[in-house]
Amino acid sequence: MAVSKKVEALTAMLAPAVAAVGFELWGLEFFQQGRRSVLRLFIDGPNGVGVDDCALVSHQASGVLDVEDPIAGEYTLEVSSPGWDRPLFNIAQFAQYVGNEISVRLASPVAGRRKFKGVLQLVKDGQIEMLVDGASVSIPFAAIDKANVEPNF
């Protein structure tokens, strides 16, 4: 999964602050939209995540961001639970969801496709293996642009 240096730096900076208030920084997204940017933090906790938890983490993260000032210009900070269709940001998170249905969008095609939806079967050696439409597909982790767990109710 291609991760920008900015996202890596923000993750390294904010993960300890999120952990300090009892939550895990599941992942983050950073979007530049003209002169305004959006920094979205996804947090998880042992008992889930509520609105008050998001407010607590937002306050904590804001303090770090104010001191470190890593984002030029104006930005909006959003703090959220990963939700039922939680995004997957790293290979360790993929490994937690072996046996579950996921959807994956690739930066460049594999087997002539950029979108896959199927059951995650294996995570090994920088690859994920999925069962898609009855066939096994091996995808390099580095080729993944975005991935989410498919909710199963």
**pLDDT for 15-63, tens place per residue?**
999 999 999 999 999 998 878 899 999 999 999 999 999 999 999 999 9
Region 74-81: mean pLDDT is 95
pLDDT at 73: 83
- Rounded CA separation 77/92 (Å): 26
Q: Which domain holds residue 125?
A: 91-149
Query: Do 26 and 68 fall into the same domain?
Result: yes
Query: Do 72 and 120 fall into the same domain?
Result: no
In degrees, rounded to 5, the angle at the alpha carbon of residue 46 between the alpha carbons of residues 44 and 52 is 60
Q: Are 119 and 134 in contact (CB under 8 A)?
A: no
pLDDT at 2: 62
Residue 131, domain CATH: 2.30.30.100
Distances (CA, A) of 143 to 25, 107, 153: 23, 6, 29
Query: Do 119 and 67 fall into the same domain?
Result: no
Domain contains 67? yes
Per-residue pLDDT reduced to its tens digit, 86-114: 999 999 999 999 999 999 999 989 889 99
Per the rule left: phi > 0, alpha: psi between -120 and 50, beta: everything else, 111 is: left
Give pairs for 4-11: CB < 8 Å, separation 24+.
Answer: 4/30, 6/30, 6/70, 9/70, 10/39, 10/70
Query: Do 10 and 76 fall into the same domain?
Result: yes
Query: Do 58 and 9 fall into the same domain?
Result: yes
Give pTM, 2 decimals.
0.88
Domain boundary among 80, 106, 124: 80
Residue 8 has pLDDT above 80, yes or no: yes
Domain contains 85? no
Query: Do 60 and 26 fall into the same domain?
Result: yes
Per-residue pLDDT reduced to its tens digit, 116-136: 999 999 999 999 999 999 999
Cross-strand pairs, 139: 128
> Which value, in Å, is the radius of gyration of the alpha carbons in the chain?
17
Domain contains 107? yes
How many domains does the chain divide into? 2
Domain boundary among 25, 54, 80: 80
Write out the two tokens for 13: 């900076």
- Lowest model confidence (mean pLDDT) among 65-79, 91-105, 136-150: 65-79
Residue 1 has pLDDT above 80, yes or no: no
